[in-house]
C-alpha cells in the first residue's frame, strides 16, 4: 500500500508541513468545522491567496457559531 500522507493532489503546501492538518485534526478528535478552520489557518500564504483563506476562516467561524445556536449548543459553565 502506498503512503497517502506522502502525496497531495493539487499542490504541495500540506506536504511542506511537519504534520498535515488532517492528521492533526484526527489526532485531536476535531469536528469537521474545527478541521476546516485548522486547514485554512495552516495554509495561509502557502497556497497563493492568504486573504482569501482568512476570509474562509472568518466565514467558517461565523457558520460554526450560527449552527451551534441552531442546534441548541449550551456552553458548559
In a domain, 5, yes or no: no
Range of the domain at 66: 20-77
pLDDT at 10: 63
The three-point CA angle 43-35-42 to 5° equals 15
In a domain, 55, yes or no: yes
Mean pLDDT per 10-residue section of the chain, whose length is 77 residues:
67 74 92 95 86 96 93 74
User: Distance between alpha carbon 40 and the CA centroid of its chain, in Å?
Assistant: 5
pLDDT at 49: 87
Domain count, the chain: 1
pLDDT at 9: 65
User: Distance between alpha carbon 46 and the CA centroid of its chain, in Å?
Assistant: 14
pLDDT at 6: 63
In a domain, 36, yes or no: yes
Using alpha carbons, select from 63, 4, 77 the residue that is nearest to residue 34: 63
Amino acid at each position: 500500500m502506498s503512503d497517502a500522507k506522502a502525496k497531495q493532489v493539487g499542490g504541495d503546501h500540506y506536504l511542506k508541513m511537519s504534520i498535515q492538518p488532517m492528521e492533526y485534526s484526527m489526532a485531536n478528535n476535531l469536528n469537521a468545522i474545527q478541521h476546516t478552520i485548522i486547514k485554512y489557518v495552516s495554509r495561509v500564504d502557502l497556497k497563493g491567496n492568504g486573504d482569501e483563506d482568512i476570509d474562509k476562516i472568518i466565514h467558517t467561524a461565523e457558520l460554526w457559531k450560527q449552527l451551534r445556536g441552531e442546534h441548541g449548543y449550551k456552553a458548559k459553565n
